[in-house]
Chain A
Amino acid sequence: MTDLTDAISGEKSQIEQFAEREYRYGFVSDIEADVVPRGLNEDIIRLISSKKDEPEWLLEWRLQAYRAWTTMTMPEWQMFHLDPIDFQDMIYYAAPKTKPKLESMDEVDPEMREMFDKLGISLAEQKRLSGVAVDAVVDSASVATTFRKQLAEVGVIFCSFSAAVRDHPDLVRRYLGSVVPFRDNFFSALNSAVFSDGSFCFIPKGVKCPMELSTYFRMNQADTGQFERTLIVAEEGASVSYLEGCTAPKRDNNQLHAAVVEILALDGADVKYSTVQNWYPGDAQGKGGIHNFVTKRGKAMENAKISWTQVETGSAITWKYPSVILQGDNSVGEFYSVALTTHYQVADTGTKMTHIGKNTSSTIVSKGIATHVAQNVYRGLVKVLRSAEGARNFTQCDSLLIGDSCGAHTLPYIEVKNSSAQVEHEAYTSKIGEDQLFYCRQRGISEEDAVSMIVHGFCRDVFKELPMEYVVEARNLLNMKLEGSIG
Chain B
Amino acid sequence: MTALLEIEGLTASVEGKQILRGLDLELPVGEVHAIMGPNGAGKSTLANVLAGRDGYEVAGSVRLAGADLLEMSPEERAIAGVFLAFQYPVEIPGVGNSYFLRTALNAIRKARGETPLDAIDFMAYTKARMALVEMDPSFLGRSVNEGFSGGERKRNEILQMAILEPRLAILDETDSGLDIDALRIVAQGANSLRRDDRSMLVITHHQRLLDELVPDVVHVLAEGRIVKSGGPELAVALEESGYGILELEGSR
Interface residues of A, Cβ cutoff 8 Å to B? 2-3, 433-436, 438-447, 449, 453-454, 456-461
Interfacial chain B residues near A444, Cβ < 8 Å: 75, 78-79, 104-105, 107-108, 111, 164
A433 CA to B55 CA in the complex, in Å?
Answer: 14
The answer to whether A442 and B51 have CB atoms under 8 Å apart is: yes
Most buried by B among A438, A439, A443, A461: A443
Decide yes or no: A436 and B92 within 8 Å by CB, A3-B54, A444-B75, A444-B164 being known contacts: yes
Q: Residue on B with the closest CB to A435? A: B90
- Nearest Cβ in chain A — how far from B76, in angstroms? 9
Interface residues as binary, B70-89 with A (CB distance below 8 Å gives 1, 0 otherwise): 00011101110001101011
The answer to whether B75 and A457 have CB atoms under 8 Å apart is: no
The answer to whether B104 and A457 have CB atoms under 8 Å apart is: no
A458 CA to B105 CA in the complex, in Å?
Answer: 22
Q: Residue on B with the closest CB to A3? A: B54
**B residues 169-200 in Cβ contact with A at 8 Å:** none
Contact residue among A446, A447, A459 (Cβ-Cβ distance under 8 Å from B94): A459
Interfacial chain B residues near A457, Cβ < 8 Å: 92-95, 143-144
Interface residues as binary, B55-71 with A (CB distance below 8 Å gives 1, 0 otherwise): 10000000000000000
> At the interface, is chain A mostly helix, strand, loop or mixed?
helix
- Nearest Cβ in chain A — how far from B73, in angstroms? 7
A454 CA to B103 CA in the complex, in Å?
Answer: 13
Q: Show 21 A/B contacts (Cβ-Cβ < 8 Å), sorted by A.
A: A436-B90, A436-B92, A438-B54, A438-B74, A439-B89, A440-B100, A440-B104, A441-B75, A442-B75, A443-B104, A443-B164, A444-B75, A444-B104, A445-B75, A445-B104, A446-B75, A447-B75, A449-B107, A453-B95, A456-B95, A460-B94
A68 CA to B155 CA in the complex, in Å?
Answer: 66
Other A-B contacts than A440-B100, A444-B164, 8 sampled, CB-CB below 8 A, are A435-B88, A442-B78, A442-B86, A443-B100, A445-B75, A446-B75, A447-B75, A453-B92
B228 at the interface (CB under 8 A from A): no
Interfacial chain A residues near B89, Cβ < 8 Å: 439
The answer to whether A445 and B107 have CB atoms under 8 Å apart is: yes
Contact residue among B74, B88, B105, B143 (Cβ-Cβ distance under 8 Å from A442): B74
A276 CA to B52 CA in the complex, in Å?
Answer: 39
The answer to whether A461 and B75 have CB atoms under 8 Å apart is: no
Contact residue among A2, A446, A460, A461 (Cβ-Cβ distance under 8 Å from B107): A446
The answer to whether A439 and B95 have CB atoms under 8 Å apart is: no
B53 at the interface (CB under 8 A from A): yes
Contact residue among A434, A439, A443, A458 (Cβ-Cβ distance under 8 Å from B93): A458
Interface size class of B (residues with CB under 8 A): 20 to 34
B160 at the interface (CB under 8 A from A): yes
Q: Residue on B with the closest CB to A443? A: B104
Contact residue among B52, B77, B90, B108 (Cβ-Cβ distance under 8 Å from A439): B90
- Nearest Cβ in chain B — how far from A228, in angstroms? 34
Decide yes or no: A443 and B160 within 8 Å by CB, A434-B54, A453-B100 being known contacts: yes
Q: Residue on A with the closest CB to B91? A: A436
Interfacial chain A residues near B79, Cβ < 8 Å: 444
A439 CA to B90 CA in the complex, in Å?
Answer: 7
- Nearest Cβ in chain B — how far from A135, in angstroms? 33
A433 CA to B73 CA in the complex, in Å?
Answer: 17
Q: Residue on A with the closest CB to B89? A: A439
- Nearest Cβ in chain A — how far from B228, in angstroms? 29
Interfacial chain B residues near A440, Cβ < 8 Å: 92, 100, 104
The answer to whether A454 and B75 have CB atoms under 8 Å apart is: no
Interfacial chain A residues near B51, Cβ < 8 Å: 438, 442
A446 CA to B104 CA in the complex, in Å?
Answer: 9
Q: Would you list the 8 A-B pairs with minimal beta carbon distance, nearest first?
A: A457-B94, A457-B95, A443-B104, A444-B78, A460-B94, A441-B74, A444-B108, A444-B107
The answer to whether B73 and A441 have CB atoms under 8 Å apart is: yes
Decide yes or no: A2 and B90 within 8 Å by CB, A441-B75, A444-B104 being known contacts: no
A440 CA to B104 CA in the complex, in Å?
Answer: 8
Interfacial chain B residues near A447, Cβ < 8 Å: 75
Interfacial chain A residues near B143, Cβ < 8 Å: 457
Interfacial chain B residues near A449, Cβ < 8 Å: 103, 107
The answer to whether A453 and B103 have CB atoms under 8 Å apart is: yes
Decide yes or no: A438 and B75 within 8 Å by CB, A444-B107, A453-B95 being known contacts: no
Interfacial chain A residues near B144, Cβ < 8 Å: 457
- Nearest Cβ in chain B — how far from A429, in angstroms? 13
Decide yes or no: A454 and B164 within 8 Å by CB, A442-B84, A444-B78 being known contacts: no
**B residues 23-37 in Cβ contact with A at 8 Å:** none
Interfacial chain A residues near B88, Cβ < 8 Å: 435
- Nearest Cβ in chain B — how far from A270, in angstroms? 26
The answer to whether A439 and B111 have CB atoms under 8 Å apart is: no
- Nearest Cβ in chain B — how far from A444, in angstroms? 4
Interfacial chain A residues near B111, Cβ < 8 Å: 444
Interface residues as binary, B141-174 with A (CB distance below 8 Å gives 1, 0 otherwise): 0011000000000000000100010000000000
